Structure formats: C-alpha cells, structure tokens
Copies of this chain bind each other. A is one copy, B any other.
Amino acid sequence: MAVYTDVSEAEMHALLQLYDIGDYHSHVGIQAGVSNSNFILKTDQGKFVVTLFEPHRVREEDVGFFLSYVDHLKAHGVGCPQTYKTKEGALYTVFKDRPTGIFEFMRGTCGDIAIHTPKICSEGGALLAKMHKVGDSFEHEAPNLFGFEKLNEWSKSLCPQANQIQEDLCAAIESEMAYLNKNWPKDLPVGPIHGDYFDDNVFYDGETAIGVIDFHFVCTDFYLIDLAIALSAWCFNGANHWEEERYRSFIQGYEAVRPLSDKERAALPVLLRGAAMRFLLSRLEEKLNYKDGDFVVPHDPLVYFERLKFFQTYDG
C-alpha cells in the first residue's frame, strides 16, 4: 500500500479540529480509485470523503483550481459533492504534507454498477453537457497535462519499449500519431473539462444522474475531447465491444443540453481516436513503469489499443 498515505485516528481527529463538520466517529481508507488517498470519514454530522492529493499525481498549485471548479458546478446547479471549507474559509488544508480537501459523500448508485440502459447513458451525457455549458463562465484555466502535446511526448518516449507488450505496437502508435498530428483540430470551443468522465465517476438515483466526482484531472481543453473520452469509456461493454445504442443515447442526452457545432461534429471521429490514444499511452506508461510489488495493478493498455482500432474504422 505504498502509494497511500495512512491516516491514524489521532491524525483524523486533528484534521477535524480545522473544520466545522462534527465530532469524529470512524474512518476507513478507500481502495478503489488509486490516484490519491481517499477516506470515508464519519462524524456525528454525517459521512464525508477526505482526499489527500498525492504529489506524484497532483500539483499543489492545481488543487485550488479543481476545488473552485467543483464550487462553480455546485453554484450553477450541476450535481457534484459539496466542498467543505476550513473554519478559516480555506478550500483545502495541508495535512501530512499533502493538500487535502473534504467533500460531501455522494449517495446513490455509482454508474459503473448500473446496467448501461439508454436512460443511464443519456443521463450521463446530459450531465457532462451541463458541466460544459456552465464551464463557459468559469474564469480559471489550467493546462491539460495529458493533452495532445503529451501524446506526442509519450509516443516518443514509450515507443521503444512498446513492442514488449505487443509486437508491432510501436509501429501502430507511430502511424496513428502521424495521422493525429495531421488531423488534430485547432479551433474548437475550449473550457474546463473533467478529463476522466468514466462511468465510475457518475452517481445515479434510479436512472437519474445526480452527480459527478473525481476532479483531479480537471483542466482547460476542448470540450469535445472530454466528450470523446467519455464515449471511449462508456460505450464499450464488458467484452470490450462497441455498443452503438449506448453511443446514440449518450450523444442524444448530451446534445439535448448542449448541441455540438458542425465543426465539433466533424472533428469527433478524430477526437475519439485521440481519446483512445490518450488512455493507450497512459496505460502503457503505467504498465512499463510497473514495479513488482506495487500495490496498484496497472490497467491493460491493450484494451484501449482495441478501442483505437475500432475508432479507426468508425465514422460515427
């Protein structure tokens, strides 16, 4: 469990002194979602999520940006956890050397648990569109550390070892990057994106989407790449096969709130390929840098290689 920061009962008590959210009852580490250290904290006032943003994942200068984006969503009626401020009104505190925030515990059913009915997907799309719609009035910006520039860097640095994972993977990456460099759009609408809008980050009450979580990839980029990432995650089933009905439902839900421009619509096939490439490369890096004994199992990059191959033949 080396990637986690342990928090003792005494330490959690001390953290709670800084907040007005009640007296300590219990806490438990959350194993799922391994980017940062997360705990479910119970006090006599309810259930909270405590996140210690880990330095290998998150730069401290971005934490204020994430959290003010969450507040912006909340203020505009988009479902998401409330952030709790310290008694002094700070968005986060530094606890065990890590920027640390406290969030409302999201109730409801996590989207990766729910069967992906058309309603589940269209609600997922609509919630993402709402985030984009209110994004225009969010005034802060942060660079996308996993944006298109990073894909070029990764493909150069990872290619030499990629064939360890699968023969010819390097050649496939190089030829896809050549295609993407030639076709990547330049002037699509830009704003804050979630960056990791997978189904396990969305909560439901019945089939109604009620909130989104996990904001540590939030940054400024094309809204359309956020949609493409979401589609690349939501629309493949457990056997990694494309589900056209999920795709249609997700897009329909999205466009009911924020219709795509003609330019966005035309660029979507390229951005779907870019989204698949982004996770192929980040997982490749995770896998190649995996050290025996690491607590976190690396995701399988080939899942996204299959998705990329699908998108290369798909014109949406």
A residues neighboring B (CB under 8 Å): 1, 4, 25-32, 40, 42, 109, 112-117, 120, 204-208, 237-241, 292-297
A26 contacts which of B40, B42, B115, B207 (Cβ < 8 Å)? B207
Query: Which chain B residue lies CB-closest to A29?
Result: B115
User: In the complex, A12→B222 CA distance in Å?
Assistant: 42
5 A/B residue pairs, CB under 8 Å, sorted by A: A4-B115, A26-B205, A31-B115, A40-B206, A238-B297
Query: Which chain B residue lies CB-closest to A291?
Result: B239
User: In the complex, A13→B210 CA distance in Å?
Assistant: 23
Q: A40-B109, A206-B42 are in contact. Are A293 and B28 (CB under 8 A)?
A: no
Q: Are B1 and A115 in contact (CB under 8 A)?
A: yes
Q: Secondary structure at chain A's binding surface: helix, strand, loop or mixed?
A: loop
Q: Are A238 and B295 in contact (CB under 8 A)?
A: yes
Q: A241 contacts which chain B residues (CB < 8 A)?
A: 293
User: In the complex, A29→B113 CA distance in Å?
Assistant: 8
CB A155 to nearest CB in B, in angstroms, measures 27
User: In the complex, A241→B25 CA distance in Å?
Assistant: 33
Query: Which chain B residue lies CB-closest to A115?
Result: B29
Q: How many chain copies?
A: 2
Q: Are A120 and B28 in contact (CB under 8 A)?
A: yes
Q: Are A115 and B239 in contact (CB under 8 A)?
A: no
Q: Are B205 and A115 in contact (CB under 8 A)?
A: no
Q: Are A109 and B28 in contact (CB under 8 A)?
A: yes
Q: A293 contacts which chain B residues (CB < 8 A)?
A: 239, 241
Q: Are B113 and A295 in contact (CB under 8 A)?
A: no
User: In the complex, A28→B30 CA distance in Å?
Assistant: 24
A30 contacts which of B40, B113, B208, B296 (Cβ < 8 Å)? B113
Q: A295 contacts which chain B residues (CB < 8 A)?
A: 237-239
Q: A292 contacts which chain B residues (CB < 8 A)?
A: 239
Closest 9 CB pairs of A and B: A26-B206, A29-B115, A238-B297, A31-B115, A28-B114, A32-B113, A28-B206, A238-B295, A31-B113
| Apart from A31-B116, A239-B292, 9 more pairs, CB < 8 Å | A25-B206, A26-B208, A28-B114, A28-B120, A29-B115, A30-B109, A31-B113, A31-B114, A238-B297
User: In the complex, A177→B16 CA distance in Å?
Assistant: 55
CB A248 to nearest CB in B, in angstroms, measures 16
User: In the complex, A293→B94 CA distance in Å?
Assistant: 48
User: In the complex, A128→B238 CA distance in Å?
Assistant: 31
Query: Which chain B residue lies CB-closest to A32?
Result: B113
Q: A25 contacts which chain B residues (CB < 8 A)?
A: 206
Q: Are B206 and A30 in contact (CB under 8 A)?
A: no
Q: Are B297 and A28 in contact (CB under 8 A)?
A: no
Q: Are B206 and A29 in contact (CB under 8 A)?
A: no
Q: A238-B297, A294-B239, A297-B238 are in contact. Are A31 and B206 (CB under 8 A)?
A: no
User: In the complex, A115→B29 CA distance in Å?
Assistant: 5
Q: Are B31 and A112 in contact (CB under 8 A)?
A: yes
CB A152 to nearest CB in B, in angstroms, measures 31
